[in-house]
Amino acid sequence: MGIARQPDPVKLIVGLLARERPLLDEAAERLAGAFGPVEERSAPVPFRHTDYYAAELGAEPWRQFLAFANLIDPGDLAAIKLRTNALEAAWAAEGRRAVNIDPGYISLSKLVLATTKNHWHRIYIGQGIYAEATLPFRHGAFQPQEWTYPDYRAPESLAFFTAIRARYRQQLREMPASTAPPG
Q: What is the average pLDDT across 46-63?
A: 83
> How confident is the model over 105-162, as pLDDT tens digits?
999 999 999 999 999 999 999 999 999 999 999 999 999 999 999 999 999 999 999 9
* 107 phi/psi in degrees, rounded to 5: -115, 180
* Paired residues of 62 in beta bridges: 18, 46
pLDDT band at 181 (very low <50, low <70, confident <90, very high): low
Domains located in the chain, CATH noted: 10-174 (3.30.70)
Question: What is the rounded CA–CA span in Å between residue 135 and residue 30?
Answer: 27
DSSP-derived pairing of the beta strands 45-46 and 62-72? antiparallel
> Based on C-alpha coordinates, what's the Rg of the chain?
16
How far is residue 130 from each of residues 35, 67, 97, 113, measured CA to CA in Å?
A: 20, 21, 21, 8
CA 90 to chain centre: 20
How many helices (H) and strands (E) are present in the chain, helices listed first?
Answer: 5, 9
**Do β-strands 62-72 and 110-115 pair in parallel, antiparallel, or remain unpaired?**
unpaired
* 8 Cβ contact list (under 8 Å, min separation 6): 107, 108, 172, 181
